[in-house]
Amino acid sequence: MKRIFLVEDDKKIAKNLTLLLCQEGFTVLHAASQKEASTMLDKNRFDLALVDISLPDGSGFVVCTEIKQVQDIPVIFLTASGDESSVVTGLNIGADDYITKPFRPRELVARIGNALRKSGRLQPVFEIGGLSVDTEKGIVKKDGREIFLSALEYRLLLVFTGCPQGVITRSRLLDELWDAAGEFVNDNTLTVYIKRLREKIEDDPAHPQIILTVRGTGYRLGGRGNSDVS
């Protein structure tokens, strides 16, 4: 499980980000100031840092520099300012990316995944139950044999592989498919796509082991014990 270092002084934003990232399968440690960040950096190891530029006792730029010196992990700046000077300063001191508040949650998660892949901390090939998904090449194989998915089927599968530890609600899946399709996708359509995807990736689609149903909530990837799934 990847560890995210969140440096953010706004308690509400920090709480919401922590909840979002935990739902995506990350572990999150939070620091609310430059001093606290420095202390935590000495005692913990991380895979990526999200750093607010404006801190009550200093600057996120200083925190970024220290992170790069101590652990050399990807840093994404969270900033309320989209002006060119702040962006250029952050990138020049070694930041890997930046995102301007307010930001869309899925965009942030995508940027985190991209930064982790570029740093080699997130492997491009995801494997489960004889299924392999190469996100760099866009190739999906089952027991070594390439299988072909439609654009929406592939998009649906990427949502699951991007959240291997969490439960994904039907409403979130609908949002994801709607964004990808550019048109309205209803609940019945989602059910059809889940069925089609299972027919292509499961050994026995009637008794799925890769995409499991969590009754009353949505779906999750297999591999963890849970009596409330089918």
Give the model confidence (pLDDT) of 102-116 as tens digits: 888 878 888 888 888
**Above 80 in pLDDT, residue 95?**
yes
pLDDT of residue 227: 33
Query: Where is average pLDDT lowest: 28-32, 149-153, 166-170?
Result: 166-170
Q: How much is the pTM?
A: 0.62
User: Which has the higher per-residue pLDDT, 189 or 176?
Assistant: 189
User: Which has the higher per-residue pLDDT, 154 or 136?
Assistant: 154
CB-based contact 198:192 (threshold 8 Å) = no
CATH number at 20 reads 3.40.50.2300
Question: Is there a single domain that holds both residue 177 and residue 95?
Answer: no
DSSP-assigned letter for residue 204: S
**Above 90 in pLDDT, residue 202?**
yes
Mean pLDDT of the chain: 85
**Above 60 in pLDDT, residue 47?**
yes
Question: Is there a single domain that holds both residue 83 and residue 145?
Answer: no
Residue 230 covered by a domain = no
Return phi, psi of residue 5, to 5°.
Answer: -100, 110
| Dihedral sign from CA coordinates of 85, 88, 92, 98 | positive
**Above 60 in pLDDT, residue 228?**
no
Q: Provide the domain limits for residue 24.
A: 3-118
User: Which has the higher per-residue pLDDT, 67 or 83?
Assistant: 67
**Domain boundary, last residue among 69, 97, 118:** 118
Question: Is there a single domain that holds both residue 13 and residue 108?
Answer: yes
Strand partners of residue 224: none
**Above 70 in pLDDT, residue 65?**
yes
Question: Is there a single domain that holds both residue 14 and residue 89?
Answer: yes
Question: Is there a single domain that holds both residue 108 and residue 136?
Answer: no
Dist CA 159 CA 144 (whole Å): 22
pLDDT of residue 124: 67
**Domain boundary, last residue among 85, 118, 151:** 118
Q: Residues near 206 by Cβ (< 8 Å), separated by ≥ 6?
A: none
pLDDT of residue 81: 65
Question: Is there a single domain that holds both residue 104 and residue 38?
Answer: yes
Residue 151 covered by a domain = yes
| Total of domains in the chain | 2
Question: Is there a single domain that holds both residue 208 and residue 159?
Answer: yes
